[in-house]
Amino acid sequence: MNEVQGKLVGEQYVILLSGHIDSGNAPAVEKAVLELIGKEPGRAIHIDAEQLDYISSAGLRVILHLRKSHPELVISNVKPDVYEIFEMTGFTQMMTIEKAYRVVSVEGCEEIGRGANGTIYRIDQDNVVKVYNNADALSEIQHEREVARTALVLGIPTAISYDVVRVGESYGSVFELLNAKSFSKLLETEPEKMDWCVREYVELLKKIHGTVVPEGELPDMKETVLKWAEFMKDHLPEKAGEKLLSMVQAVPYDDHMIHGDYHTKNVELVGDEVLLIDMDTLAVGHPVFELASMYNAFIGFSEMDHEIIKKFQGFDFETSQLFWNKVLSSYLGTDDEETIRQVEDKARIVGYTRLIRRLIRRQGLETEEGRTQIEFWTNKLLELLDRTDSLIFAKNELQLEATKENLPTVMDFVERNLEEADCPAKIQMQILMAVEEIFVNIANYAYAPGTGMAVVRVEVKRDPGAALITFMDQGVPYDPLKKPDPDVALPAEEREIGGLGIFLVKKTMDEMTYEYKDAQNVLKIRKNF
């Protein structure tokens, strides 16, 4: 009979079984196990079957007796052949039995990705493994598999883990990613592909943010950010802490997907397909939470020490800044610097909140370097809170001064949104003509003789296709729909100057509405396609 051993591990008593357990030695094995357990009464029992090569029905009866006296019994590290016996006889249904995991080494392997919860290594030409920071990561692995399947079903291109392995003292998930190259590696080794990377990166980001997730499938990121804001109340001046919390509370629930750790090491080029990896941070929420994470990845973490981004992403801080600026401009669909700055400020507020909390929880206040970083980020956060009143923005919304000089910015913003939605060229031309007429009217008359702000919002729907453009200003109340249409049958000498612009809009659009609401002129046009 092989020796039965036992050891105390934390609050559990671990029984180590080895060799064969069959009709010839099962009674002796059971006696030895009971004697060991008797020395540690009241302890939870765990069987380590790493060295168990064979078990017969007689051995199964020993396990069943133990299960009846210790309902919490767990068996781990079970070899595949032995696990098959447990599974065939229904034991896996009545108790926790965990397979043994093959061991994988990442020594000397290329690091191709890094996230909040683990690091991804290439272990051969076809496969990569994500090694989790948490040594007891099995529940995290299960969670990531589930959310990755959810994302895949919803149309997000990603890879699903096909195996779980042991890596050192932790666990890893194995994925098939043939000849994959991260966007970080592309930016590092092929800088001429910067604009291509921006385009593909933003296209995937918009696909993620355009995906509605069934209720309860993913966690709500707002709940997490609220905890960060609550924590910060003890580390900010009272008014600033209250304002931060109220701004987070005011962010509406959003059932659209966000990745939560969307940086260039988590976007892979596999052949000609772009895949998203590292899915354990998947959630739902307002895109400001996503942009905050992205800002930290590209700027925030490295703001004081530019070498950090080089170690993390592989490219330098200047490349990171350029990529971030291009991505934000493309995502928002505008080159208007003020619009981009306003959205970036909102993202930075959430980003700095996370950075400060993270460092404080990691005993940052106990070191001079930590205190310096916390002070730096806190001062930045206080400046932003002083000039920002809301975290909410619409990526399809442009806010700018209503002047004719800003007409090209408005036209470019609308055109980009229409092109992304594959709006037909003729329809685009008609919409752009209407946009020009309406915005010029606002610029000329809404605030005359002064100037003021205007908002232009673009909403494009598919199946059936339709573009809805909304114009808002706080100028003099004016309903252009009440103005009589010009008589286009009159000869030139009898016509009045003006009035054709709004007439053309009404004739070319499928719908045009006006209301004065919340001290704002709100004019909407709709064109089907």
Q: 35-44, 115-124, 467-476: lowest mean pLDDT where?
A: 115-124
**Least reliable range by pLDDT among 26-40, 124-138, 222-236:** 124-138
Task: Note the pLDDT tens digit of each residue in 411-429.
Answer: 988 998 898 788 999 999 9
Does pLDDT of 63 surpass 90? yes
Give residue 491's pLDDT. 60
Q: 302, 300, 407: which is closest to 351 by C-alpha?
A: 300
* Location of structure tokens 């990171």: 320
Q: Which residues pair with 274 in a beta bridge?
A: 269
Residues with Cβ < 8 Å from 306, sequence gap 6 or more?
A: 316, 317
Specify the range with the lowest mean pLDDT, choosing from 23-32, 278-287, 483-492.
Answer: 483-492
Q: Examine the pLDDT at 460 and tell me if it is beyond 90.
A: no
Half-sphere exposure of 348 (CA within 13 A, CB side): 22
- Mean pLDDT for all residues in the chain: 91
Strands (E) located in 88-132: 96-99, 110-114, 118-122, 127-132
Checking if the pLDDT of 403 tops 70, the result is yes
Alpha-carbon distance of 247 to 342, in angstroms, equals 15
Q: Measuring CA to CA, how many Å separate 5 from each of 73, 240, 475, 476?
A: 16, 60, 84, 87
The pTM for the full model equals 0.70
Tokens 């592989």, residue located: 314
Specify the residue for token string 């007429």. Answer: 437
- Contact indicator for 121, 106 with CB cutoff of 8 Å: yes
pLDDT tens track for 356-384:
999 999 999 999 999 999 999 999 999 99
Q: Could you give the CA distance from residue 180 to residue 77 in angstroms, rounded to a whole number?
A: 32
Q: Is the pLDDT of residue 494 over 70?
A: no
pLDDT of 227 higher than 60: yes
Average pLDDT over residues 478-486: 85
Q: What is the rounded CA–CA span in Å between residue 454 and residue 460?
A: 20
CA distance 123 to 120: 9
In order, the DSSP letters of 168-188 are TTEEEEEEE-TT-EEHHHHHH
- Cβ-in-10-Å burial (0-12, 13-18, 19+) of 212 comes to exposed
Above 80 in pLDDT, residue 251?
yes
Helical H runs in 43-193? 57-69, 80-88, 91-94, 138-153, 183-189
What is the Cα–Cα distance from 191 to 8, expressed in whole angstroms? 56
**Range with top average pLDDT, 75-84, 352-361, 452-461:** 352-361
pLDDT for res 488: 54
d(CA 488, CA 506): 14
H-state helical runs in 299-336: 307-313, 317-332
In order of 245, 256, 332, 438, the CA distances from 251 in angstroms are: 10, 14, 19, 31
Per-residue DSSP letters for 398-426?
A: EEEE--GGGHHHHHHHHHHHHHHTT--HH
Tokens of 462: 């598919």
What the block records as the tokens of 76 is 């781990």
Mean per-residue pLDDT, 214-219: 93
Residues 437 and 505: beta-carbon distance below 8 Å: yes
Q: Which tops the pLDDT comparison, 112 or 183?
A: 183
* pLDDT exceeds cutoff 70 at 509: yes
Q: Tell me the range of 131-135, 429-433, 498-502 where mean pLDDT is highest.
A: 429-433
- Asked if 209 and 287 touch (Cβ cutoff 8 Å), the reply is yes
Nearest to 394 by CA among 450, 468, 455: 455
What phi and psi, each to the nearest 5 degrees, are found at residue 488? -75, -5
Q: What is the phi/psi pair of residue 299, to 5°?
A: -130, -55
The answer to whether 208 and 257 are in contact (CB under 8 A) is yes
* 8 A C-beta contact, residue 54 and residue 89: no
406: Cα within 13 Å, side-chain hemisphere: 26
Per residue in 45-60, pLDDT (tens digit) is 999 998 999 999 999 9
The least confident of 25-29, 106-110, 164-168, 396-400 is: 396-400
What's the rounded Cα separation, in Å, for the pair 110 and 118? 14
The model's confidence at residue 117, banded by pLDDT at 50, 70 and 90, is: confident
Indicate the pLDDT class of residue 145, thresholds 50, 70 and 90: confident
Provide the pairing of β-strand 257-258 with 267-270.
unpaired
Name the band, by pLDDT with cuts 50, 70 and 90, for residue 201: very high
The mean pLDDT of 106-115, rounded to a whole number, is 84
pLDDT at position 495: 47
For residue 113, list its beta bridge partners: 120
pLDDT-based confidence at 88, cuts 50/70/90?
very high
- Per DSSP, the three-state class of 106 is coil
Considering Cα of 389, then 375, then 258, then 419, what sign does the dihedral take?
A: positive
Question: What region does 518 belong to: left with phi over 0, alpha with psi -120 to 50, or beta?
Answer: left
- pLDDT band for 14, please (50, 70, 90 cuts): very high
Residue 285 is given by DSSP the state: -
Decide which of 280 and 294 is more confident. Answer: 294
18 pLDDT band, cuts 50/70/90, is: very high
Q: What is the mean pLDDT of residues 130-152?
A: 86
